[in-house]
Chains A and B, each alone.
Chain A
């Protein structure tokens, strides 16, 4: 079976000389949900940004069999939807409706189709009543749901979620889990939340110093790094080298 995402030999160095990624190989198949663990600064978010062509350097990335390069960015961004860690970065339009419609309008869809997608996605995340509200009037949980609706409105095949439970209280986190669980898309989830990964992920990988140093089921990773009984993996667990 052809993977949805194939990454081989991906490396990236920031302008200040820091090596963020160092020869990462990764594949994602349809129906999979992969949790990305790793300490802060280990390269997880940098890796995600490469998947939608927001960063590019050495290495090869293919999305649905198409290489991620300047000529294919529109296709790649239609296939891969990314939910950023801070929803305020993602909700830049004046109203919830406009924000969810932003992606579909950029796809050049008809007005009817844009309105249909916005209605469906807001309804899916339970925010249809907030369509006319300004994003800055929403709570953190509501912002996260609207941001997710904005991503889903692009109808991507792959969802990339960067620490989706950050800033959420327990009910908000539980609501997010309920939202994410039935989604048909393959998912990559960057998280420190072991319970969330156990609930959603079919596989996990562990990043350290820009490399994937361990791969397996969530339970195997948890056991290997001694987080059994922890709700969150130690965010500053630098030095863990599988």
Chain B
């Protein structure tokens, strides 16, 4: 199998992986909201959030170094907003923007690392997210693997027949390959739609009712809520 294993972490086994997706979505949302609300969070508060997220990632048995590193991918995007604050004479605020962005990315990565995309989309649907948007995301994710395999095969075929390493023919071949890939994707989309219709699809997905939340789910949500409430109280008393 040649495709990128985007969901590798979500297939690990841990007590947090076993929790209901809805609970984890709500917990992640609560953490991010409580993190971004304070205008000027103190460094110790940010350190506490980092500690809490690290504990969650450790409980989920995520590879810690990779988790820290991947979360840092958000920093170049946050750097622009942060730079405005730096050059606007408020370097502390700029640093907080960077720190909040990084911690938020850590939190979302924890959510994605402990929940399969399928469960995540189901959870979001149960929580009232637009169904059409989720359906598009589901199809995009499903066929990303098929498309990337096709692209790899085309690239291999091009390399097999590439006599020279000159850039111009390679560029032309790449643009041609993209066009072919687009045409094939369009054809595939039609065939998928036909396959759906053949099994009775009538324009909307009929889904099984999600299971009820269990005691562990409620306990986890209560623990996260209590920790966040305590942090906010501590912040008020400062």
List residues of chain A with CB under 8 Å of any chain B CB.
49, 52, 54, 74, 77-78, 81-82, 84, 86, 88-90, 92-95, 98, 101-103, 105-108, 111, 114, 134-137, 150-151, 154
Write out the residue numbers on chain A whose beta carbons fall within 8 Å of the beta carbon of B116.
94, 134
Min CB–CB distance A135 → chain B (angstroms): 7
Decide if B202 is an interface residue (CB 8 Å cutoff): yes
Interface size on B, as a range, is 20 to 34
Q: List 29 A-B contacts (CB under 8 A).
A: A49-B194, A54-B194, A78-B200, A81-B198, A82-B195, A88-B143, A88-B146, A89-B195, A90-B195, A92-B139, A92-B143, A92-B192, A92-B195, A93-B142, A94-B116, A94-B118, A94-B138, A94-B141, A95-B118, A101-B208, A105-B207, A105-B208, A106-B201, A111-B209, A114-B208, A134-B116, A135-B142, A136-B145, A151-B199
- Distance between A113 CB and nearest chain B CB, rounded to angstroms: 12
Task: Judge if B216 is at the interface, Cβ distance under 8 Å.
Answer: no
Contact assessment for B200 and A94 in the assembled complex, using a CB-CB cutoff below 8 Å: no
Does any Cβ of A come within 8 Å of B188's Cβ?
yes
B238 at the interface (CB under 8 A from A): no
> Which B residues between 174 and 198 are near A, CB-CB below 8 angstroms?
188, 191-192, 194-198
Q: Taking each of A54, A81, A82, A101, which has the highest tally of chain B beta carbons within 10 Å of its own beta carbon?
A: A54
Q: Which residues on B sit within 8 Å (CB–CB) of A88?
A: 143, 146, 188
C-alpha spacing A95/B10, complex, angstroms: 14
Q: Does B1 contact A (CB under 8 A)?
A: yes
Contact of A77 with B146 in the complex, beta carbons under 8 Å = no
Task: Give bound CA distance, A134 to B3, whole Å.
Answer: 13
Contact B199 A106 (CB under 8 A): yes
Does B60 interact with chain A (Cβ within 8 Å)? no
Residues on B close to A: CB < 8 A? 1, 3, 7, 116-118, 121, 138-139, 141-143, 145-146, 188, 191-192, 194-202, 206-209
Inter-chain contact B208/A94, CB cutoff 8 Å: no
A94 adjacent to B117 (CB under 8 Å): yes
Q: What residue of chain B has the Cβ atom nearest to residue A139's Cβ?
A: B1
- Name the distance in Å between B80's Cβ and chain A's nearest Cβ: 35
Q: A78-B200, A134-B116 are in contact. List 13 more A-B contacts (CB 8 A).
A: A52-B197, A77-B199, A82-B195, A86-B191, A92-B195, A94-B116, A95-B118, A102-B196, A105-B206, A107-B200, A108-B206, A114-B208, A135-B142
Are A77 and B196 in touch, CB under 8 angstroms? Answer: no
Q: A54-B197, A94-B121, A107-B200 are in contact. Are A89 and B191 (CB under 8 A)?
A: yes
Cα A187 to Cα B170 in complex, Å, equals 48
Q: Give min CB distance, A70 to chain B, whole Å.
A: 12
* C-alpha gap A86/B150 in the complex (Å): 13
Q: Are B3 and A154 in contact (CB under 8 A)?
A: no
Contacts of B145 in A (CB 8 A): 136
Min CB gap A24→B, angstroms? 19
Which chain A residues border B191 with CB–CB below 8 Å?
Answer: 84, 86, 89
Q: How far is A66 from B194 in the complex, measured between Cα atoms in Å?
A: 21
Q: Which residue of the partner chain B has the closest CB to A111? A: B208
Cα-based distance from A130 to B218 in the complex (angstroms): 29
Give the distance to chain B from A118, nearest Cβ to Cβ, in Å. Answer: 10
Whole-angstrom distance from the CB of A142 to the nearest CB of chain B? 12
